[in-house]
Structure 1
Amino acid sequence: MKKILMVLAFASVSVAGMAQDEPTQKFSVATNSFWSNWFVQANLVGTSFYNDGESYRGLLKDYRTNLGASVAIGKWFTPGLGLRTKVNGIWGRTVISEDAETNANKYWTANEQVLFNLSNMFCGYNPDRIWNFIPYFGGSVSRNMSYDQYAMGLNFGILNTFKVSRKLAVNLDLAFGGHETDFDGAHFTRDGKRWNLEQKDRTVSVEVGLTYNLGKGTFDKVPDVDAIKALMQSEIDGLNDQLRAAGEENDRLNNIIKNHKCPEAKTVTVKEVAVAPVSVFFNIGKSKVASKKDLVNVKNLAEAAKANDKTIVVTGYADAKTGSAAFNQKLSEKRANTVKAELVKMGVDASKIEVVAKGGVKILKPASYDRRATVEIK
């Protein structure tokens, strides 16, 4: 028995020493439903008994130690806080003498424990973390079946879990427990009277087993509301800039019409409208047109170019803040060719279209406005 407990203790230290934690990015999580984040555990337990009337030294001696088992079910309410109900026992050796047979008895202990996952509390929630460090404390009710005795108790310990997969983990539990004085069932007769031995039993346990996560065993990341608002505001600002540019262009054309004395002023105005560059926007890393509405102005420009036998220049861009220079160069070329293909669909001769790729640039703010292709008449 001594050798078994020594092997368990040595294995626990070795495994804990080898456990490497993953780098963690902190973020908020959403609270799951009641039926999520449940787990079950099964363990092999080595337990050593001693009482408060003796020294705790010599815990590995055979007259006070025995193997047992434990099973548990629990739930994590947050990444850092959980509850666990655990039953352990079967065989034990409460210390009445230094004889293993005299001390032997059968018992069980039902524990209700509060779990604190300090790894998640201090390092941030990470569902892929290899090692979780989880102290706990709780109360217990025990029954010594050999002596038909019940006793209340307290316990605390450290649960270590080592991730195998999202569903399965190896757990190492180091626990300490205390019982009321009547747990060991030992009685003495003095002057014809029976009285309990006024010594409280203590237990030190090492448990090794498995944890299995039931159903959904992770917590969802809370959407970053500020980032969503910033993105929406960026899009609104972009639309406002387009409206402002359109208004300025309209004023410029009105001035041309107002000040032009040529009888063909209206015809010239139509040509000038077509000359204004048109932008077609794309999503990050994509070469597919983000909104078909952008192609409406392109079509107007294409009609003007065809009517006047003009060449169209399509220039592709990417934002320099994302992607490598080589990637952005190819991306800008793909964007320009996408718009060229749309122009061909509109009836523009491919020989009348020039394609230019500018690669990653820093022209507009925010950077998302640089994810575009411009179309203009040469």
Structure 2
Amino acid sequence: MKKILMGLMLLGATSAMAQETTSEIAPMDKYSVATNNFWSNWFVTVGGDYVASYSNQERGLGLSRNPLKSFRRSWNGDVTLGKWFTPVIGVRAKTQFMSLKNVDGRTNPSYDMVNFNVQGVFNLRNLFCGYQPGRVWNISVYAGTGFYRNLDAKHYAFMYTGGILNTFNVTKRLYINLDIYGNMALTELDDGIRTTNTGKSNFMTTKDRQAGVSLGLGVNLGKVGWSKTPDLQAINAMHKAQVEALNASLAEQQRENDKLKELMAKRQETTTTTVTEKKTVVSTPVSVFFNLNSSRIASKKDLVNVQALVEQVKANNGKVEVCGYADSKTGSADYNQKLSERRANTVAKELKKMGLNDDQIVIKPMGGVADLNPASYNRRVIVKAL
């Protein structure tokens, strides 16, 4: 029975464990995370940009496309603010402060501009490899739209942007930002005068464009990262295995319990037989021994069998005979007679404590005897049922 109770306790513990599955013991889903509140996983970056400009006014001039040429090159800066909604999907707003070249093959004037755009960002590593909080390098792609403000020509131009964003985590909050991007104005970007040059024309060559690289530092704001969610399929499989193991354990414990019941039944039969035998034994005389020249009982253990005899006598409303003896080899006959009487009276007092009254006790002092060997065995009181 004890093992069955232990098995039930184990079942309860298993149920509690199923409810308290945590990240330390439960298998986690590689691609699933718990959602965070609005103020979690924000970020801000500041970077310096190298920008190569391509103007619609250079069409047909045969100029080099090399982005490192001085007539294309300009140095700029940018600031971004964004938020990750999931480990894969985010959004950011980017502002660029630019001095762009209008490449016309002649004067190549520069224009001071501000570019503001909003982008949707997709983290490819988390998408294909699963979210890992300690990952150092992440790569994302993004695309967005916005507008330019030409501060010199005093006009706006709508634009598209897209690129590849690399981040390298230095600490949990600080990271290095490497952004490779391209911008394209949908309307005239520079001085508003479209080219009159001839040459091969396509959608790209009729637009003002930039190719750029931004290198900077980023800071994560608010709570950083996501808590992974348990893998329910793996947990269900694990719990199924646990339940099967528990069922096997309970079956084994049930077999042990059946054996225990069988053993207890046999023991009860043996106990019944023993009690029956004791009833036969305690009806025979019981001896209580004393030390030399003493009327004090040598060992209280001798009273155990006396108690059993008394219980039988009380059950049958019978009587007992208490016969006192002394060792005839020591002391005179008169002294041994009195000593045997004192010993009998000592045992009689114990019988009264056990529930017998004077009418049920017959005292017989037998004096000194030499019935047993060694002589110490004769220093006794014999109690027997009548």
TM-score range, shorter chain: 0.5 to 0.7
Does residue 297 of structure 2 align to residue 260 of structure 1? no
In the alignment, which residue of structure 2 is the partner of 1:137? 143
Structure 2 Cα separation of the partners of residues 189 and 164 of structure 1: 47
1:184 aligned counterpart, secondary structure = coil
CA distance in 2: counterparts of 1:205 and 1:189, whole angstroms: 24
The residue aligned with 1:46 is: 50
Partner of 2:72: 64
Which of 215, 222, 225 matches 2:229? 222
Q: Displacement, 1:162?
A: 1.0
- Kept in 2, the 8 Å contact 1:43–1:69? The answer is yes
- Identify which of 200, 212, 219 aligns with 2:219: 212
Equivalent in the alignment of 2:176 = 170
Deviation at 1:244, TM superposition (A): 2.0
Give the Cα–Cα distance (whole angstroms) in 1 for the partners of residues 99 and 221 of structure 2: 29
Q: Give the Cα–Cα distance (whole angstroms) in 1 for the partners of residues 180 and 187 of structure 2.
A: 23
* Alignment gaps of 5+ in structure 1: 1-24, 191-197, 267-378
What is the letter of the counterpart of residue 51 of structure 2?
Answer: T
User: Hey, what's the Cα distance between the residues in 1 that align with 2:128 and 2:235?
Assistant: 27
Is 1:91 matched with 2:95? no
The structural deviation recorded for 1:89 is 2.4
Q: Do the aligned partners of residues 188 and 164 (structure 1) sit closer, same or farther apart at CA in structure 2, a change above 3 Å counting?
A: closer
1:265 and 1:43 mapped to 2: Cα distance? 98
Change (3 A) 1:241 1:180: same
Q: How does 1:1-378 map to 2 (within 5 A)?
A: 26-52=30-56, 53-54=58-59, 57-100=65-108, 103-187=109-193, 199-226=206-233, 228=235, 230-231=238-239, 233=243, 237=247, 240-241=250-251, 244-245=254-255, 247-257=257-267, 259-260=269-270, 262-264=272-274
Partner AA of 1:260 in structure 2: T
Q: Which AA in structure 2 matches 1:251? A: K
Q: Residues 147 and 223 from structure 1, CA distance in 2 versus in 1: closer, same or farther, beyond 3 angstroms?
A: same
Would the aligned equivalents of 1:257 and 1:265 in 2 still touch at CA under 8 Å? no
2: CA distance, partners of 1:189 / 1:90 = 22
Inter-partner Cα distance in structure 1 for 2:275 and 2:211: 99
CA contact (8 A) 1:50 1:56 kept: no
Contact 1:44/1:207 (<8 A) preserved: yes
SS in 2 for 1:83: strand
The percentage of counterpart residues that share the same residue type is 34
Amino acid at match of 1:58: N
- Secondary structure of the 1:121 match is helix
Contact in 1 for aligned 2:163/2:182 (Cα 8 Å): yes
Counterpart residue number, 1:320: none
Output the CA distance in 2 between the equivalents of 1:80 and 1:210. Answer: 21
The one of the two structures with greater contact order (alpha-carbon pairs below 8 A, sep at least 6) is 2
Alignment deviations for residues 193-233 of structure 1 (CA, whole Å, 9 cap, x no partner): xxxxx942000011000111112121111124455553573
Q: Which runs of 5+ in 2 are unaligned?
A: 1-28, 197-204, 277-386
Q: Offset at 1:90?
A: 3.2
1:63·1:98 contact (CA, 8 Å) conserved in 2?
Answer: no
Please say if residues 46 and 66 of structure 1, whose CA atoms lie closer than 8 Å, have aligned partners that are also in contact: yes
Structure 1 residues 93 and 260, CA gap change in structure 2 (3 angstroms): same
Relative distance call for 1:242 and 1:69 in structure 2 (3 A) is: same
Question: Which residue is 1:289 aligned to?
Answer: none
**Secondary structure of 1:248's aligned partner:** helix
Q: Matches of 2:274 and 2:102 in 1, distance apart?
A: 112
Residue 58 of structure 1 deviates from its aligned partner by 3.0
C-alpha distance in structure 1 between counterparts of 2:209 and 2:126, whole Å: 31
Q: Measure, in 2, the Cα distance between the counterparts of 1:130 and 1:187.
A: 47
Q: Is the Cα–Cα contact under 8 Å of residues 63 and 99 in structure 1 kept in the other structure?
A: no
TM-score norm. by structure 2 comes to 0.54
C-alpha distance in 2 between matches for 1:172 and 1:162: 8
**Equivalent position of 2:12 in the other structure:** none
Root-mean-square deviation (Å): 3.0
Structure 1 residues 115, 189: closer, same or farther in 2, change over 3 A? closer
Q: Which amino acid aligns with 2:179?
A: D
Q: In structure 2, how many angstroms separate the alpha carbons of the residues matched to 1:186 and 1:241?
A: 88
What's the CA shift string for 1:101-152, capped at 9, x where partnerless? Answer: xx21110111111111111111121121121111111112111111011111
TM value normalised by structure 1: 0.55
Which stretch of the first structure deviates more once superposed, 242-251 or 65-74?
242-251
The AA in structure 2 aligned to 1:105 is Y
Q: Larger C-alpha radius of gyration, 1 or 2?
A: 2
| CA distance in 1: counterparts of 2:174 and 2:234, whole angstroms | 34
Aligned residues: 233
Give yes or no for contact 1:96–1:186 (8 Å, CA) kept in 2: no
User: Match for 1:60: what amino acid?
Assistant: L
